[in-house]
Amino acid sequence: MSLTKAEVRRLFKRRVTRIFLVITLVGLAIFPIVFALNSKPNSPEARAAAQAQADQAYRQAQVEFERMTAECEAAKARGETGLDDRYGPNCGADYGPRPEYYPAEQFLPYEFNFQEEFAPSLAVLSAILALAAFVIGASFVGAEWSTGGMMNLLLWRPRRLPVLFTKLGVLLGSILGLTAVLGALWTAAFWSIGRYDGDLGKLTAGVWQSLGLTGLRGATMVLLAATVGFCLASIGRHTAMALGVGIGAVVVSEIGLRVAFELLQVRYGDRYVLSTYLIAWFDKSITITDWRACQFAQTACEPPEYVVTWQHASVLLGVVLVLSVFGAAWSMRRRDVA
């Protein structure tokens, strides 16, 4: 049996792989089910009912306004003072309800719009798959080291780097295949919701191209997570090494640094936080606003902004990728296997 086939079988026979695949599938299935149950198409009947509700709300507001105006006029006739503070100038006659304040759209049920809402759903899909890929990748090689399986494998194939990178290639190929399949199912599910229980919007070629590029960036993020998890576990020779570093990075970056920068009032502190670059990679850019600059402004103030682009994110993520792979390769070559 070839090494590649053996690694594929080993990957999918692992209990952690199967458990996380099941959890991921169940978790992902919840989202389209919830959207399907809550989305209602805005049919002519629904719009007519919403318009009736809007008209009723306007009439109720008009009745309440007339009551308050009459109350104000009566108080004015009695000679009471301070009415402007209670009812506004001229008993609030200039601030009465208007029909345009009660559009029918406010009373329509939720309708899923595929064109507008599918791209954010891809971020959810990518985040869940990236988390699963990180754990599966770390377990795939970490368990081999901690149980002595890697030593037995190297006795069969005594070539360290080819064995390591074959395992990594099998992991990435499998994760990519699963991501493509789940991405296609995710797209089909939400397209069906938009088609039958919502609105598809204007799906031009440009829209599909934009969604495709968004999905590609998400898939890249998933593969990066799998690679980093794999390499960290290989360096530490235990799954817990990767999980510990991952949790530590999140805690330090998302909690520790944010709190420290807030206390120190660091300008554009979010540009030093990992999640900023992940968002910039997925959304192509993210704008950080320095609201403190206008905190004591006496006149109109335009707060300065700092833009993090996907190019900045690609540099950081590329450095993380190179360091992870290099560290795993160096550890494999230089350290004792046993």
pLDDT per residue as tens digits for the range 140-183: 988 777 776 667 666 666 777 888 889 999 999 999 999 999 99
pLDDT the model gives residue 149: 66
Find the mean pLDDT for residues 247-270. Answer: 89
Q: Any residues with CB less than 8 A from the CB of 275 and at least 6 apart, and which?
A: 253, 254
On whether the CB atoms of residues 104 and 44 are closer than 8 A, the answer is no
Q: How confident is the model at residue 45 (pLDDT cuts 50, 70, 90)?
A: confident
pLDDT in tens, 173-214: 999 999 999 999 999 999 999 999 989 989 999 999 999 999
Is residue 99 domain-shared with residue 187, that is, in the same domain?
no
Q: Cα dist. 115→171, 190, 210, 229, 337 in Å?
A: 33, 10, 10, 34, 52
When divided into structural domains, the chain yields a total of: 2
Is residue 52 domain-shared with residue 148, that is, in the same domain?
no
Is residue 29 domain-shared with residue 96, that is, in the same domain?
no
Is residue 164 domain-shared with residue 230, that is, in the same domain?
yes
Is residue 75 domain-shared with residue 147, that is, in the same domain?
no
C-alpha–C-alpha distance, residues 258 and 277, integer Å: 14
Q: Any residues with CB less than 8 A from the CB of 28 and at least 6 apart, and which?
A: 125, 128, 182, 186
C-alpha–C-alpha distance, residues 24 and 132, integer Å: 7
Is residue 124 domain-shared with residue 208, that is, in the same domain?
yes
Among candidate residues 78, 107, 136, the one where a domain is terminated? 107
Is residue 128 domain-shared with residue 213, that is, in the same domain?
yes
Higher pLDDT, 338 or 135: 135
Is residue 262 domain-shared with residue 140, that is, in the same domain?
yes
Helix (H) or strand (E) holding 199: strand 198-199
Q: Is 202 helix (H, G, I), strand (E, B) or coil?
A: coil
At 335, give phi and psi (nearest 5°).
-90, 155
Q: Cα dist. 166→128, 153, 159, 227 in Å?
A: 25, 12, 11, 12
Please provide the DSSP assignment of 105-128 as one string. GGGSPP-EEHHHHHHHHHHHHHHH
Among candidate residues 80, 107, 134, the one where a domain is terminated? 107
Is residue 210 domain-shared with residue 229, that is, in the same domain?
yes
Is residue 161 domain-shared with residue 309, that is, in the same domain?
yes
Which residue(s) pair with 199 in the sheet? 113
Among candidate residues 107, 132, 156, the one where a domain is terminated? 107
| pTM assigned to the model | 0.85
Domain of residue 187, residue span = 3-40+114-334
On whether the CB atoms of residues 164 and 332 are closer than 8 A, the answer is yes
Q: Tokens standing for 224?
A: 């990066």
Residue 75 has pLDDT above 70, yes or no: yes
Higher pLDDT, 148 or 224: 224
Is residue 163 domain-shared with residue 51, that is, in the same domain?
no
Is residue 99 domain-shared with residue 155, that is, in the same domain?
no
Residue 15 is which amino acid? R
